A and B are shown apart, each in its own frame.
Chain A
Amino acid sequence: MSWLKDDLRVVYAIWLREIKVWQREKSRVVGSVLTPILWLAVFGSGLSGMNVGGVGYQQFIYPGILAMSILFTSIFFGVYIIWDRKIDFLKEVLAAPASRTAVFFGKVVGGSTDAMLQATLLLVVGVFFGMHFTILQIVLAYVVLLLLSFATVSIGLGIGSQLSSPEGFSMISSFVIWPMFFLSGALYPINNLPAWLGPLVAIDPVTYGVDALRGVLLGASSFPLLLDIGVLAAFTAVMVALGGFLFSRMK
């Protein structure tokens, strides 16, 4: 079991570093919270006359915006692997007697922690946009957001591990993340969609994340919660495995 202890120590070391760096980059924290507030305030207010499924549009998109900000923060976390390589810090980590898998998990847990801290801030912000939560709602929301974040951080790290320029990373990750976001129903109800759009929405894993959040926070969902979480968990498992594989093949 000593290898497990070693691996956990490495995960802890990497996690600790990511948290410290996150704390020190104030612009990251501020930016990651301001953008969703803008969406809610401007986009949400602009369409506030709309009433979707018994709630105002601002409340309706709140779970979607929550998912969106976790999605973008998480995938963008992958770009830091490129910076680590540029400042050669990555070399120090990769030369250590530590397994690549442990380093990868340290990064995933670190990135997801960043995302969860951000989610906490956004839950507080939600109160000002007319949301109210019970403890159970908050716990369930964290479970969904954590799964979503694990999956997306893994995708980001997988992409980052194969690229050498931040510009390339922005390009490729946009190709991945925007369709996932737009097709997820974060901004519109997914019932009664045009025939061509329906299947695309159905195969987007983020759809189930947004639906679960909407179910948990607003009590209005299209699928049973267990189905949502099941699909999301399977998606997360596959993405973590894929990200870990790409990371282990990184040069």
Chain B
Amino acid sequence: MRAQIRTGAISKHFGKLKAVDRVDLSINEGEVFGLLGPNGAGKTTLINMLSTLSKPTEGTAIVNGFDVITQSLQVRKSIGIVFQEPSVDDLLSGRENLELHGLLYGVPRELRRKRIKELMELVDLSDRADDPVKTYSGGMRRRLEIARGLLHLPKVLFLDEPTLGLDPATREVIWNYIKSLAKRGGVTILLTTHYMEEADALCDRIAIIDHGRIVVLGTPRELKEKLGGDVVMLKGKVNLARVRKLRFVKAARKANSEVMLTIDHAARNLQALLKVTGRVENVEVRTPTLNDVFLHYTGRQIREADAEGGFFERVIRSETVRA
């Protein structure tokens, strides 16, 4: 299988801040690859470099066989992008936005018409296709943007938080379509998300990214198995050093106001553990989720790390922050 996206120590610095710090990635054709991390981790910056919207400070990247620095036009023709912030024109109708996109990307008229019809049905906007976008809800805009990103049949699709602000039913529809695009259409998909269940359900492989670096990379299953055993969350005063001495405790760290332990066979060892810790306020035992993986590697909950808020706050923020 050939690598559709390959980066070599790609970095982006904003002054002293290393937004992306020497990232090496290799993503195969037809793969759905997830970048998982809190906002500000460098996910969007990485996508901006791969889509030639911003130049890397250092390092290289190849997309669909083209160099993002020297062959940006060919890269742009190969890719579709769904941005995190809404980027459709309010005054135009949904159909007009897609028409405009088709013209900009040189999609021939007949194909354009056909694709627009198909995609409008896919994202369930056929009834509203000719209404101005300003009358759309946030979720509808999002769906329109996904349709737009797919219009010119890109080889590589970048999805920056693709289902942010969508209701569960629509999210499911979009997931299924993304999967079939990759499996049947051979489209390579790089998506960012901070929905764990999205990454779990959708991605062949995941890279957890924090402070501009890849912290860990693997299939969702591998990542969860890497933790091994069960996760025990304890609330209360716990002596970490004493806990770590226990034979069955594989890892122990502070996570927010709690202590996160990874232990072998919780059912058998929980009693022994609690003898050592003494009284605690709360105990929770579970099999590891991706959230635990994230917590394990970064010491933060991904949702708590997310300070940016939801889709609508972002719409409002984009007004004020950019002013």
> A-side interface residues toward B, CB under 8 Å?
6, 9-10, 12-13, 16-17, 20-21, 24-25, 85-89, 91-98, 164-165
Contacts and interface: CB of A to CB of B under 8 A. Distances in A.
B91 A16 contact: no
B76 to A, nearest CB: 4
B106 interface: yes
A88 B85 contact: yes
Contacts of B77: 97
Interface in B66-102: 73, 76-77, 81, 83, 85-92, 96, 100-101
Given A17-B96, A96-B76, 13 more contacts: A10-B103, A12-B103, A17-B89, A21-B91, A21-B92, A87-B87, A88-B87, A88-B318, A91-B85, A93-B104, A94-B53, A95-B76, A95-B81
Given A97-B105, A97-B106, A87 B96 contact: no
A95 B51 contact: yes
Instruction: Say whether chain A's binding surface is mostly helix, strand, loop, or mixed.
Output: helix
Contact of A91 (B73, B83, B91, B101): B83
B73 A97 contact: yes
Interface of B: 51-53, 73, 76-77, 81, 83, 85-92, 96, 100-101, 103-106, 132, 148, 318-319, 322-323
Given A17-B89, A20-B96, A92 B323 contact: no
A55 to B, nearest CB: 42
Given A20-B96, A85-B322, A9 B103 contact: yes
Contacts of B100: 13, 16-17
B87 A91 contact: yes
Which of A25, A97, A165 gathers the greatest number of chain B CB atoms within 10 Å?
A97
B87 A98 contact: no
Query: Dominant SS at the B interface?
Result: loop
Contacts of A88: 83, 85-87, 318
Given A20-B96, A95-B53, A96-B76, A87 B104 contact: no
A6 B53 CA distance: 20
Contacts of B76: 95-97
B87 A92 contact: yes
Q: Which of A6, A89, A93, A94 has the most CB of B within 10 A?
A: A89
